[in-house]
Amino acid sequence: MWETRTMMPAILDRGTPVTEEEFFALGETSKRIELFDGSLYVTPAPTPQHQHIASEIKFALRNAARDAGLHIHEAVNVRLQPGRIPIPDLVITRKINFKELVIDAEAVVLICEIVSPSNASADKVLKMHYYAAAGIPWYLLVEQDSATLHLYQLAGNHYVERSVTRPGEVLHLAAPLTADLVPDELLPPD
C-alpha cells in the first residue's frame, strides 16, 4: 500500500500518459481507479446504497448465471482495449481465468453500471460508448435514486435501449441469461 501512495502523485504530476503496466503497479487502493486512454479516472468508494444495489442484483442473477454457464463479478478490471480498463459495478462473463488481474472484453456478455450523481455522465455517455466499441452485447444501467433499470443491446457499434423498468414493474431478462429483476427489491429498506 505504501508504494501506491508514493507512486500515485508521481504518475499524476508528470503530465504524460499512464501505461497499463504503471496502472497495474498501483496495486489495490481504497479508491476506484480506472484507466482511459492513458488517463486515470479516480472516484471514491461507492456509497452503501450503491453497494447494496450491486449486491442485490448479483444475488438476483447468480443462479441464472450459473445455470447459463456464466459467472457474475463485482468491481473487476475489464480490458476493453489496450490502455482502456474500467471497473464496472457488475460484469457477467463466459469462462475466464479467475487468477488473472484483468478480464478481456471478449469474455463479457453483460456489464452493469449503477449511476451515482458523481459519475452520471461517465456511465451514460463515456463508458456506454467504450463498452459498445468493445463489442459487449448487453449493458444494464441502474439509476440509483429511483432504481429504474435501462437495458441496452448492442446493435452494430452502438447500444439500442430495449427496455426501461421502473419500480412496480419487472425486468424479464431473456438474454444473456434468463432471470427477473424487480427494481423495488434493489433499494435498501427505509
Q: Which value, to the nearest 10 degrees, does the dihedral of the CA atoms of residues 10, 32, 130, 64 take? A: 150
* DSSP per-residue letters across 19-37: PHHHHHHT---SSEEEEET
- pLDDT at position 69, please? 98
Cα of 117 vs its chain's centroid, Å: 16
- pLDDT at position 43, please? 82
User: How far is residue 153's CA from residue 137's CA, in Å, rounded to a whole number?
Assistant: 6
Phi then psi for 24, rounded to 5 degrees?
-70, -25
Domain boundaries, the chain: 2-42, 46-185
- pLDDT at position 156, please? 96
Give the pLDDT band of residue 4 (cuts 50, 70, 90): very low
Residue 15 has pLDDT above 70, yes or no: no
Give the pLDDT band of residue 10 (cuts 50, 70, 90): low
CATH code that applies to domain 46-185: 3.90.1570.10
Q: Which value, to the nearest 10 degrees, does the dihedral of the CA atoms of residues 152, 176, 156, 122 take? A: 40
- Could you read off the pLDDT of 53-86 as tens digits, one per residue? 999 999 999 999 999 999 999 999 999 999 999 9
Asked if 173 contacts 92 with a C-beta cutoff of 8 angstroms, the reply is no
Residue 174 has pLDDT above 80, yes or no: yes
More confidently predicted of 43 and 120: 43
